Every structure is written in structure tokens, then in C-alpha cells.
A and B are shown apart, each in its own frame.
Chain A
């Protein structure tokens, strides 16, 4: 065996492929570590580039991507002997089967391990680079490299290696070797999409060959601190996973050994060979070949061309590997079907665009694989089969031959797109949704996506025509894709630079393709003409006959250039390329401003450096807004005229006005004040400083006039104007001027700040101790409560809406006018919307309800209406009266996916809420939830809003969450809340695990969503549980009564927490502290649960463990002794798979293990500690156990 092994090793180490593979892995790891060009995952924010977690992830992901390498190395050794017809010699040597197979396998296995050493070497080399930022590197830990190599690479290469080796040895078919890598890759994709649901995670983790799912599962809640210091333990699901698969691999190895035979043919002969050559020797003299007439007219040429297209098209789609890849793609789609059209555990109606998005998201990978692989296959087809000398001597021009192949490829791509369409229709039908928008399918798949795919085909044909080796061709294509993906990271953001970069054209049911197709096609003409030039040059340079050398082909090219018509076509295409290039450039860089990421970063930094001195600069306050806005939706045009009334509310005179214009494409026709003012500084027309002729005295008011236009001409490199659209305009007050310096324009990412020499920002919101932050709410910089009035005009088929009540509606000069006026004080936060709406109207206790929706999106109107009513009722009853007389919901296109609460006006994206399909029993009703959350903002945000400092979102977002939870609990019951809270817990824990700066307790949070939404829900729900809903609500009522519609200084989170603390008995004061002012994590576990029947009652005994940890901002936890009242729950089985509580009460726990005995009436099914997940516990699955009989 040693001789076979050493032969294999010496062979492998002489092969360049070994070193190429090593170099690929080395390079990827190196680039990941030393540059930002490649991001594999792992190192973001505070996580070190060489943290055990990062290194582990890099190795994990690269074994997945390295499947192809493993398959290339491990699949071939035996096959190679057959391919080189060496097997006959080999098998006559005095080697046993075990020696032969063992030697070949081990030799390849060691080679593969050697190749994978490229990863740690790449990382280590990357770390040594002088330019690397020392802040992103942690201490060197040997285990960080050794352990993942032991847990992941050594077993994975072994497991996959055995399987690939087996296939290669038994089937001796290159195709099988090729495909198996892909099969594993697809299995993994299917698996990950199935594990998207948190509850499914643990079980599925065992099925993952690569060990990625169990590893993610173990580390899903790790904090940055832990990621930097801990190595991934080989335990629980990861350990089982490894053992399971190594076991399977060993069985596979044994089976291979048994099945393998030293014989000429494979034990699995793929075709039956019946070589019954019955040669009937006929009369030698009788020879007559019929005369044929030949024709080379255009019509024959066309027929020949069509025949070649047909030949290559069917030749490809009938080939086994193609069908295999295609079926894999279809299976992947089918496998993911349960997940298609799901958001947040909620099913959406499978509207066509959503289905296409989901399907192409999955299928595009296969389309790209097929384009890359089969373009090469087609170009190389004749040469690979060895029939090229015959075909090249046919009287058919090289243009005809290659264009036929090209069109065959185009047909194949079209077929793939049609597959998506039919799968989509199939899925829609299965889901009982029969509104197939065939036009949307055809437009999206063929008008929008198809041309970009064809650009890739052109490139692939060019590359394969130029290079003399298919492998190099494929590698170049992959390099192209990698380059394209990392182009943005390398700072190449202009779409005119990287071939094939085409803007996307999102489809919206409301706005169709809007204005997006036009720029897309301009870029397509630009890249398409270049692609064709490359293609034609490829044709001219293509190999012919036995001329393959570069020199000979250059000769051919020169000859072709001289004599063929190709030259003229190339020149005219180049002309198109240049002219369209100029046109695109004119649009992107002259009509619009193009800024690289670096320029934008630099400008932001410059703004901060020059004007931060104006932070908290004494400025007037806007007290009234009066605007006339004319929208021309079809032109995406807006003209805004109007005035603000501003007042000096300070005790000092104001002689300087600071004006901010947020949008660059603004045209300012007139801007001025009632006081004479000189412009003294103007930065990029975005921040302007005015010096007043005479100061605005304390208490005095004046007016600001503006007359501005937004004109959208041509197109930008990347469309940023998503507010002004043809149908579904949604813009807000930042299209109007604002006062003062705005911190929100500052750079927040600390690595960006470092590059610009700005000090590190440890907080994105201002500190509580910063008293100036209390001058403003965090929503508006320049106003407290305003009066608001607007007149909006739009095209006659649209309805325009803005906060306030409709005073009058009229038509004039073919335009439709709407006059809105608000009669109650409101925050300086308003929006303008216009679309072809259907309107639903209702009222509730004298409050008008209006829902403006797109005509095909009427599914959830009733649900939203109900949510509005229930929320209004709850808030009015528990908090305070509603300050407005109306609630409106308005749908807007899905370019953004949020809902946002403006005074009495709630714009709501078409992608959420409107298309949710909520089947009552299983899903969380997100349409209801989001509506309720937004309506609650009319109180939390529009009646009371925190100061512009840390923790203020607690009073706005967390309270909106709490309100929605309470309303939902009454509507859907406690069980539904349990499920909702489980999502919230998962969201919070994974959110903090990828925190980029600092995690703060909720009362000091920096506006992180995972804290104020997810943790907010958990904390407020738990507080309600401890205090009782009425007690808590009474405190909230008192709070809103004190701070509703307040003047500055604005309220801060600690004051809010104090209201809750005041309502809390002394025994629970600790809880308030833990919940709001600390990052508290519990470790609760039910170790044992059993029952004994006593008479007709049941005595349940529970063994539970409790632990508590306080975490710092990096996630470093310190254990403390718990002293908390925690739920103990005992359930009974209700039938139908449901359990309900027969006992749910709090008991005091002080840490460690504790035995609890409870007597219940009915036979217990499950029991545990904190079964409703009210407390934050990183391992919440072990809270509940089945109750076993102890008798």
C-alpha cells in the first residue's frame, strides 16, 4: 500500500492542479483577511479578523465552496487509471485491492488536506500585511486554527472524499464525479432553507454533511466578546453530526471496498453493450452512390444554420448532466416551496412578482452555472469529441457555426426562464392562487432579466474562443463573477466599469416597472454592443482545424479582419458602444451627480468636520408649515412652494440661520426670509449659512419662503429617487428645507470614521447626560409642535394625501387638487402621497378610518380596519384620548418595505401587510400586528416623544410594540403571543450577536432595532406579567398625561423607567433594574420532571436549575446570583397536538438546583420553568420537559 500511496502522493505533488487549488484557497483566505475585497462573514464590527469564530466560519464556508475541489481531487484517482487506460497494467501488478484502493484514497486524501492548509496559511499571511488595521486583530490563538481544522476540514474532506472516491471508483464516469459535488451543494441549500424556521433548527442540523448548520446553531447567540475569545466546542448537535457522518463515510468506504472489482468495466455499466457486428459482406462490385445536388444559396444557409441551432440545442438539453443540473434546480425550488412567500412566519399571497423574486433567487444560481458551463461546452464541443477536423472542413462559415451555438445557448437560457415561469404558475396553483400575471412573468423573466443573462453568454463565448483550455475558460468566467461581486467592495460602483453591470428593475404591483426599464435598456445597449464586439472578435480568433496556436490564430484573425464583413460590424458596434456610453455617462454623471462611495464618505466627513461646531447652535423653531405642492407623477416631478413660520423660542437673539437641503436633485427657485439675510457659506448646496441683517429677538416670529422644484431628467447610475414615481409617490418633509446641523448625516461606521480621521463613535445617539440633547425630540431637529396646512395637486386619476383633514377637493386645468389642514398640534413630520387608489372607508367612535390601497390588494383591508379599531379602543381606554379625528393607511410601492406613522396618516409598503395571507391558526397575523404598531405610534411618538438621546426609542418603538402585543393578546390569545415572543427572543439574541458597536441596556439603547423592537417586546411583556396589565397601564397613563405634547426639555428614558418603578412593589424593584438598566440573561433549565398519581390528583416534581448573567456592552457576561420570581408551568394535553396550562405561577429562585412539587388535577404532559419565554434565556429549549411517570 505504501508504494501505491507514495506513487499517488508523488504524482499529486508533481501536478500543477494541486498547487492551483492550494493557491485558490490561500488567495481567498488571504484577501478576506488582508482586504475588504472578499467578505465571507464572521468579522464585522467588533469581531476580530482572526477570532476563533471568524477562522471557524472561513473554514466552514470554504469547505462548502471547496466541494468542487474535493470532488476534483478525491473523485479521480481510480477513474484516472481508466481514463489513461492504465488500469490494465495497474491491475496486473502485484497489488491487492485493499492496497490499491487504500493507497489511492489516502494519497488523494492527504493531498486534499494539504490543499486545505491554504486556508490557515492564507489567514496567517494576511494578518502579517503591514497595512492591516491593528484594531481588527486579536491575540494569536493556536487553537483557533487547529480546532476547526480538526472538527471541520479533516472530517469534511474525509466524508465528502469517501463519497466522491466511491462514485469515481465505482462508476468511473466523469459526469458522476462532476455532479456529485453539486448534489451536496444543493442538498445543503435545501437544508438551510428548511431550517429558516427557528424551531426546526436542531433536528435538521444532523443532516448537514458540512456541519455548517449545527455550528451556526451553537453560535447563533454568541456575543462579539464570545466570538473573539471562545473556540467552538465539539458538543451537542455538532458532535452528533460529525459522528453520524464520519460513520456513514466509514460504511461508504467499506461498501466501496466490497463492490470494487479489478476488472475492465465498471460494476455499474451505464449502457448495455451489444456489439453484435453482423458484417454481411455484400457484393463488392455493386457500388452506386446517388448523385446529389448541392446548393449554397441563402435559404440553404439559413436551413443549415437552423439545423445547427437545433442540433446544439437538443444535443445539450438531452444530455444527462444538463438534465441533472436542471432537475437539481427544479428540486431545489420544490424543496424550498414551503418557504416560498414567507415573511416572519407569515405567508404572503403568492403574487406573481413575489413568486418570481423567490424563484429566481434560487434558480439564478443554476442558470449561471449552466451559462458558464454549457457556453464552454458548446464552444469546445467538437474539439472535445475530436470531430472538429470533420466539422471544420464543412462548407459552413465560422460565423454560422458559432452564432448557431450562441443561439442554441440563448434558447437554453430562455428555456430556463420558462422553467421559472411554469414552476411559478405551478406553485401559485398549488397555493390556490389563480391570478397568474402572465405579462408580469414574461416581462420580468424576458424583458428585464433575459438580456443581462445573454450578456454573460456573449462573454463566456468570447473567453472560450480566446483561451486554449476549457478549464482556464471556466476559471476566467468564475473570476469574472467573483470580480463582479466584489467590485463594490473594491470601490467600483459605477456601472459603466465592470462588464455586464446592469441596473435592476424592481417590479411593483402599484407602479409596474415604473421608470426603471429605460436606464436598464440604456446600459444594456452599452454593454450589449461591447459584448457583441467581443463575441465577433472571438469568432474571428476562433480555432480552426488544427490551427490552435496564438500566432496562427492571430494570422487567421488578420485574414478575417481583412476579408470578412465582421470588420464593418465591429466598427459600427464600437460606434454604438461609444455613443451609448456617452449617453449613459451624460445621464449618470452630468444630468445626475455620480459619487463613488469614497466621495460620499468624504463629503459626509467634511460636513462633520466643518459644521459640527453648529451642533446645538441656537436656531429658530418652526411653528407652522404651509405648502402648495404640485406633483406630476408621470414626469416624476414636484414643485413645492410655501412658507414656514419660525419663532425664536430661546432667550437670546438669533442672527444666523443654518439651512439644510437633504436632496441633491433640488432646484431652488426662491428661498428667503422676511428678514434680509446674506448667504455667507454654502457647502455643496446642501448646507447653507445665512447671516441676518438684524437678529431675530427672543419670542419674535418671522417667515421663511421657499419655491423649489424636483425635476427628474434621465437616469442616475443607481436610482436613488424612489419617492417620486409614476404611481405611488411617497415623499416626506425632508424634501423641504430644515434648520440646523443634523447629526444624522455623520458617518456612523467606525472603520469609515477611522479612514476619514474622525474620532470613534461609541454611541450613535447622544448620552443621557448631554443636556442639550433634550432640546429636541429624536424625530425633529427644528420644531416642537406645529400647525400644518397643505394643498396638493396631482394628475386627475390619482388621489393625493397629506396629514390633516381634507378641506376641499376640486379639479382645475385638468389637475386634481386636495386641500388638507390639521387642527391639532403635531410633530414636524409629514408626508405627501399620490397614487391611483381605491378607498375603503369606515368609522369608529367618531373617528374616520380610511384605507387607500391598490386595486388588486384588497385582501387584508378588513384585518387592518379591525386592527385600527382595536388599537384605537385600547389606547383611548388605557393611555389617553386620540388627538386626531381620523386614521388613514396608504399603500406605497415596494421599493421600501416598512410602514411609518405620520400624524393621522400611515404609509404602508405594498410588500408588507397588504399581501399577507394569514391563515388564522398557524401564523402570526403580521398585517394586524404592523397596523396595530403603527396606530399605537399616534400615541407613542405623536403624543409623547423622547429627547434626542439614548434610550428614547424605548418610549416610542418599544411602547408601540407593547401596545400591539396587548391588542393582539386580546385578539389572538396567549398562545399566539408565546409564538410571537419566541420570534422576538430569537431576533433579540441574534441581533446582539452581530452588534457592530456596543450593546446597551434598553433604557440607554442607541436606537438598535433588535433592542427597541425585540427586546422591547420581551421586557414590556415581562413587566406586564410582573406588575399586572392594569398597574403597568396606570403608570403609562400617568406618564403620558405628564409628558404628552410637552415642551422642551424633552423627557428621557430614565424618567419613563421611573414611572414604572414607582408602580412596582419593593420586592420587584430589582426586576425593573434588570430589565431596563442592565443587559440581563437567564439560564433556566428544567432538568427532570416526573409525576405520581395521588388519589385523583397528580403530584408533579420538577428539578430546575437557574442562573443569571449580567453582560457588558461587548457581550462579556458576569454570573450573579439570581433572586427572581420565575414562572413554573405545568401543561396538560388537550388533544389535537395542543397543550394548555393547568398551573402557571411564579416562584422565587435563588440560583442553583431546586426541586419543586406541585399538585395538579389532571394528568400532566409537559412542565418547566419560564415556559412562555418571558425572560431572556439563550437556551430556551431546555425550559420545558415531558413529564414522566415516576410510578
Chain B
């Protein structure tokens, strides 16, 4: 399977240009979509999930025209929205069974099996008869994951799936996804760089509606190799350095501030060359240092 996005553009009625000429090619496996809040990740994902139309451009899933033939896409789609609610007065099991039938799982026995297995996988089996209204944020999120996986979708779109999950659950889920992604396309959006680093074989960074980078994470890191410099200083120094240098990120580390700086020229003084990680790529892109 291959998802091809070409020239996808979308402007909202309020004038916000959410997608600017997006071109991507996504193959089976886990695809990570990185970007800050408001970058257009959700818009892109909703468009692939047939929930939103584009102004121009097209999306093909192999030969299937996603923007035209929505019904067909929906048959092989699993979608987990970034924000969603549930019917409060119904249990997880009931709702999953309901959704399973609507997804076309027409044999009752299979339906029951798949629901049971999903409830197990998402660790909701014990609370399967509880009303969804009483679910905590994490439980609800797991429920969302479960519903997205009903009926062996060929393409799974998960918008910020790990938000609200505790580390154990997060691992568990990512593990689940990577397992599944061997045969299908899984698109996963996040602003947590680690998620992508750990799992994704393909990724893209988008910002302000544009694809800033796309490719393999390792390839991305290669691009900034030798251009990221770091130092650990106290606050006043950090303030000074931030004016002088092209600081892409800063974080506290044992009372000092660790600065990462983009520079194609070698830096001396406080700085040492950093072994770049995906985060550095991400911030370089956001800072505008790494251009597509």
C-alpha cells in the first residue's frame, strides 16, 4: 500500500491557510507526523480521513482517490481524532460492538471476538461494562485507540494518540501500533519527538501548513550532523548567549541551562559539538534553520 499526497492545499473560511501544497508519499509502516500546535497536522489527517475537503491537490491510496471515493476509503480506515467524546450512557463494550457492525464486521461472532480482543489489548476489559461517561481521560483515550483498530483497517490515522496516557500505557500502545504497522499504513501525529524517534520508519515535520522535512528519522539527523552545538551555562550567561547565537532549544539541566545552538560554522568558547538527536532536527526546522 502506498499513500500519495500531491499539492494538497486548504484555506479555512477565516483566512487561515492550514495546508500549503503538501506533497508526501507514505508506505506501509509507522509514519510520524511532527509539528507544533497549529501546524496543520490535524487538518492533514482529517483530510486523509475523508472528514474534510481540500481546496486543491489530491490524495491516492494506491489507485483509490481518497478525496472522491470517500465511501471506499472509510471501509479500510481506522481513525483516532485528536479530541473526541463518547456517548456517556453506554458501556465501552456496547459502543465498540455498535461501531464494529457499522464498520462492516457483519458476523456476530467475529464482532464479539474482535471487541473482546481490543478491550484486552487496550486494557479496558475490566471496565467493559462501565458507562463511558465515567471514564477517565486515559481510559477514554484507550477506548479511542480500540475503536480505531476495529475491523483490521488498512490505513490507521491516529492524531496525538499518546496524549493523556501514562508512560506504561504509552509504550504499550506504541508497541501495539508498530506491531500492526507491518502490513498497514499507520499515520501518527505528535509533538513529542521521542515517539517518532523510537518507532517510526518514516516521518515528516510540518509547520505552518508546509512540509519542512520528510524522510527517515536517521536521514533527518544526518542533515544536522555537525551543525548543532551545545553548552551548559548559568542563567545570566545563557541570556547573553541567546542574543548572540542562534539558539534552537534550551532546557534546564541540574540547575544550569543547556542550550542547543545551530551553527554551520564551528563554535568555540562555551560550546561543544553535539551528537544530534531528532529533537535537534525538529527545533532546527521550527527555527527556520533547516529549510525544505
A residues near B (Cβ < 8 Å) are 271, 273, 275, 277-282, 284-285, 287-296, 300, 303-304, 307-308, 311, 315, 318-319, 381, 385-387, 389-397, 544-547, 549, 551-552, 555-556
CB distance from A514 to the nearest CB of B (A): 47
> A386 is contacted by which of B52, B84, B168 (Cβ under 8 Å)?
B84
Q: Does B38 contact A (CB under 8 A)?
A: no
B175 proximity list for chain A (CB < 8 A): 284-285, 287
Q: Does B98 contact A (CB under 8 A)?
A: yes
A–B pairs, 24, beta carbons within 8 Å: A277-B138, A281-B172, A284-B172, A284-B175, A288-B117, A289-B114, A292-B100, A292-B105, A292-B150, A293-B106, A295-B106, A300-B106, A307-B102, A318-B89, A386-B84, A386-B85, A389-B46, A389-B49, A390-B99, A393-B79, A395-B104, A545-B46, A546-B52, A547-B53
Q: Is the CB of B113 within 8 A of A290?
A: yes
CB distance from B4 to the nearest CB of A (A): 20
Q: Considering the chains assembled together, what is the distance between the CA atoms of A271 and B114 in angstroms?
A: 30
> A292 is contacted by which of B46, B110, B179 (Cβ under 8 Å)?
B110
Q: Considering the chains assembled together, what is the distance between the CA atoms of A547 and B81 in angstroms?
A: 15
Within 8 A of A (CB), among B28-60: 46, 49-53
Q: Nearest B residue to A396 by beta-carbon distance? A: B102
CB-CB under 8 A for A304 and B101, given A389-B84, A545-B50: yes
CB distance from A315 to the nearest CB of B (A): 7
Q: Considering the chains assembled together, what is the distance between the CA atoms of A757 and B13 in angstroms?
A: 58
A319 proximity list for chain B (CB < 8 A): 89
A285 proximity list for chain B (CB < 8 A): 175
Among B69-77, B223-231, B265-273, the stretch in contact with A? B69-77
Q: Considering the chains assembled together, what is the distance between the CA atoms of A563 and B135 in angstroms?
A: 41
Q: Does B180 contact A (CB under 8 A)?
A: yes
A288 proximity list for chain B (CB < 8 A): 117
Q: Considering the chains assembled together, what is the distance between the CA atoms of A1051 and B78 in angstroms?
A: 94
Q: Nearest B residue to A297 by beta-carbon distance? A: B106
Q: A284-B172, A287-B180, A300-B106 are in contact. List 9 more A-B contacts (CB 8 A).
A: A277-B127, A277-B139, A287-B175, A287-B179, A304-B101, A307-B101, A315-B90, A385-B88, A395-B102
Within 8 A of A (CB), among B1-21: 13
Q: Nearest A residue to B150 by beta-carbon distance? A: A292
Q: Considering the chains assembled together, what is the distance between the CA atoms of A275 and B111 in angstroms?
A: 28
CB distance from B65 to the nearest CB of A (A): 13
> A279 is contacted by which of B81, B123, B149 (Cβ under 8 Å)?
B123
B134 proximity list for chain A (CB < 8 A): 271, 273, 275
Q: Does B83 contact A (CB under 8 A)?
A: yes
Q: Does B103 contact A (CB under 8 A)?
A: yes
Q: Is the CB of A294 within 8 A of B103?
A: yes
B172 proximity list for chain A (CB < 8 A): 281, 284
Q: Is the CB of A390 within 8 A of B81?
A: yes
Q: Considering the chains assembled together, what is the distance between the CA atoms of A502 and B79 in angstroms?
A: 46
A280 proximity list for chain B (CB < 8 A): 123
Q: Considering the chains assembled together, what is the distance between the CA atoms of A608 and B13 in angstroms?
A: 64
Range for the number of chain B residues in contact with chain A: 35 or more
B88, B104, B172 — most chain A CB neighbours (10 Å): B104
B52 proximity list for chain A (CB < 8 A): 545-547
B87, B111, B113, B139 — most chain A CB neighbours (10 Å): B87
> A277 is contacted by which of B13, B49, B136 (Cβ under 8 Å)?
B136
Q: Considering the chains assembled together, what is the distance between the CA atoms of A311 and B91 in angstroms?
A: 13
Q: Is the CB of B84 within 8 A of A546?
A: no
Q: Does B218 contact A (CB under 8 A)?
A: no
B133 proximity list for chain A (CB < 8 A): 271
Q: Considering the chains assembled together, what is the distance between the CA atoms of A387 and B107 in angstroms?
A: 25
CB distance from B270 to the nearest CB of A (A): 42
Residue interface mask B149-192, A partner, CB < 8 A = 1: 11110000000000000001101100110011000000000000
A273 proximity list for chain B (CB < 8 A): 134
Q: Does B63 contact A (CB under 8 A)?
A: no
Q: Does B261 contact A (CB under 8 A)?
A: no
Q: Nearest B residue to A275 by beta-carbon distance? A: B136
B171 proximity list for chain A (CB < 8 A): 284
Q: Does B220 contact A (CB under 8 A)?
A: no
CB-CB under 8 A for A294 and B151, given A278-B126, A289-B117, A545-B46: yes
Q: Considering the chains assembled together, what is the distance between the CA atoms of A285 and B178 in angstroms?
A: 11
Q: Is the CB of A387 within 8 A of B101?
A: no
> A549 is contacted by which of B13, B103, B147 (Cβ under 8 Å)?
B13
CB distance from B248 to the nearest CB of A (A): 33
Q: Considering the chains assembled together, what is the distance between the CA atoms of A308 and B95 in angstroms?
A: 11
Q: Nearest B residue to A285 by beta-carbon distance? A: B175
Q: Is the CB of A386 within 8 A of B83?
A: yes
CB distance from A835 to the nearest CB of B (A): 56
Q: Is the CB of B139 within 8 A of A295?
A: no
Q: Nearest A residue to B13 by beta-carbon distance? A: A549
Q: Does B118 contact A (CB under 8 A)?
A: yes
Q: Is the CB of B176 within 8 A of A287?
A: yes
CB distance from B134 to the nearest CB of A (A): 6
Q: Does B121 contact A (CB under 8 A)?
A: yes
Q: Is the CB of A289 within 8 A of B89?
A: no
Q: Considering the chains assembled together, what is the distance between the CA atoms of A381 and B85 in angstroms?
A: 11
Q: Does B286 contact A (CB under 8 A)?
A: no
Q: Does B86 contact A (CB under 8 A)?
A: yes
A551 proximity list for chain B (CB < 8 A): 13
CB-CB under 8 A for A296 and B87, given A289-B114, A289-B118: no
B103 proximity list for chain A (CB < 8 A): 294, 394-395
A552 proximity list for chain B (CB < 8 A): 13, 53
Q: Is the CB of B147 within 8 A of A390?
A: yes
Q: Is the CB of A293 within 8 A of B110?
A: yes
Q: Considering the chains assembled together, what is the distance between the CA atoms of A392 and B52 in angstroms?
A: 10
Q: Is the CB of B106 within 8 A of A390?
A: no
Q: Is the CB of A282 within 8 A of B123?
A: yes
Q: Is the CB of B169 within 8 A of A279?
A: yes
CB distance from B73 to the nearest CB of A (A): 8
Q: Is the CB of A291 within 8 A of B152?
A: yes
CB distance from B189 to the nearest CB of A (A): 14
CB-CB under 8 A for A546 and B168, given A293-B107, A386-B83: no
Q: Considering the chains assembled together, what is the distance between the CA atoms of A409 and B72 in angstroms?
A: 29
Q: Is the CB of A300 within 8 A of B104?
A: yes
Q: Considering the chains assembled together, what is the distance between the CA atoms of A381 and B117 in angstroms?
A: 28
A385 proximity list for chain B (CB < 8 A): 85-88
> A394 is contacted by which of B102, B136, B138, B152 (Cβ under 8 Å)?
B102
B169 proximity list for chain A (CB < 8 A): 279
Q: Considering the chains assembled together, what is the distance between the CA atoms of A285 and B172 in angstroms?
A: 9
Q: Considering the chains assembled together, what is the distance between the CA atoms of A961 and B87 in angstroms?
A: 66
Q: Nearest A residue to B78 by beta-carbon distance? A: A393
CB distance from B156 to the nearest CB of A (A): 11
Q: Is the CB of B75 within 8 A of A389?
A: no
> B86 is contacted by which of A289, A387, A392 (Cβ under 8 Å)?
A387
Q: Considering the chains assembled together, what is the distance between the CA atoms of A311 and B106 in angstroms?
A: 17
Residue interface mask B238-268, A partner, CB < 8 A = 1: 0000000000000000000000000000000
A546 proximity list for chain B (CB < 8 A): 46, 51-52
Residue interface mask B113-149, A partner, CB < 8 A = 1: 1100110110100110000011010110000100101
Q: Nearest B residue to A400 by beta-carbon distance? A: B102
B180 proximity list for chain A (CB < 8 A): 287, 289
B117 proximity list for chain A (CB < 8 A): 288-290
Q: Considering the chains assembled together, what is the distance between the CA atoms of A273 and B83 in angstroms?
A: 23
A273, A318, A389, A397 — most chain B CB neighbours (10 Å): A389
B99 proximity list for chain A (CB < 8 A): 390, 394
CB-CB under 8 A for A544 and B51, given A292-B151, A304-B102: yes
A393 proximity list for chain B (CB < 8 A): 49-51, 74, 77, 79
Q: Is the CB of B53 within 8 A of A295?
A: no
Q: Considering the chains assembled together, what is the distance between the CA atoms of A977 and B100 in angstroms?
A: 74
Q: Is the CB of B53 within 8 A of A395?
A: no
Q: Is the CB of A290 within 8 A of B110?
A: yes
Q: Considering the chains assembled together, what is the distance between the CA atoms of A549 and B13 in angstroms?
A: 8
Q: Is the CB of A289 within 8 A of B139?
A: no
CB distance from B137 to the nearest CB of A (A): 11
A304 proximity list for chain B (CB < 8 A): 101-102, 104
CB distance from B169 to the nearest CB of A (A): 7
